[in-house]
Amino acid sequence: MIMENFENDLSNSLKVLNAGDIILYPTDTIWGIGCDATNGTAIQKIFKLKKRDEKKSMIILVTNENMINKYVSDPSEKILTLISTAEKPTTAIFKNAVHLPSNLVNEDGSVAIRIVKDEFCRQLIEQLDKPLVSTSANISGEKFPQNFNEISDEIKNGVDYIVQHRQNDFSKKDPSSIIKLNDQDEIEVIR
């Protein structure tokens, strides 16, 4: 039964994502609101639901370094190695984002990317064959939910599909670490 639900969630999520809509789903960190990261209209729906300033960029999830190379021009090897081997989920800010909608890219041309280890996310991204937006499942400025039960009805009612997988996982989760390369070519921890 669990595998059937997992497969149903993948199938239903893909239909919603391919239609340009948004989902509520578990990640390798906290629950996220997501969409196809190459669809600017879907990204706009997330900004509206979260009541978030568009100047605040969102994270995208990928499955491997090859996907990063599709969306970042000349990514830092130092950062690639670090996020590929990190035990704790780690998001990296890369300069020179390419092939992504302008409303996903920071004003300085950067984009935040995490390689996911969560099996549901990995399969979803592989089957979508595009990166997935991931932003905390809360209204901007409010506390992020550490599990499904803490997500507000406003968020649940504002998405087009809610993944069933891991809704009964009540363990407390935290967001990923965030790193970037500073001007001295040193790794800087932001969060």
Tokens of 95: 């300069």
Is residue 55 predicted with pLDDT exceeding 70? yes
Closest to 55 measured CA to CA, from 106, 110, 111: 106
* φ, ψ of residue 14 in degrees (nearest 5): -60, -40
Which has the minimum average pLDDT: 1-10, 48-57, 98-107, 133-142?
1-10
Grade residue 12 by pLDDT with cuts at 50, 70 and 90.
Answer: very high
Is residue 1 predicted with pLDDT exceeding 60? no
Compare 21 and 173 and report the one with higher pLDDT. 21
d(CA 96, CA 189): 19
Grade residue 54 by pLDDT with cuts at 50, 70 and 90.
Answer: confident
- Mean pLDDT, the chain, whole residue set: 94
* φ, ψ of residue 151 in degrees (nearest 5): -80, 135
Grade residue 3 by pLDDT with cuts at 50, 70 and 90.
Answer: low
Distances (CA, A) of 170 to 28, 120, 142, 153, 166: 14, 17, 20, 17, 9
Grade residue 168 by pLDDT with cuts at 50, 70 and 90.
Answer: very high
Quick one: what percent of the chain has pLDDT higher than 70? 98
Domain 2-189 belongs to what topology? Answer: DHBP synthase (3.90.870)
Grade residue 5 by pLDDT with cuts at 50, 70 and 90.
Answer: confident
d(CA 45, CA 26): 19
| The predicted structure's pLDDT at residue 2 | 60
Residue whose tokens read 């390689």 = 115
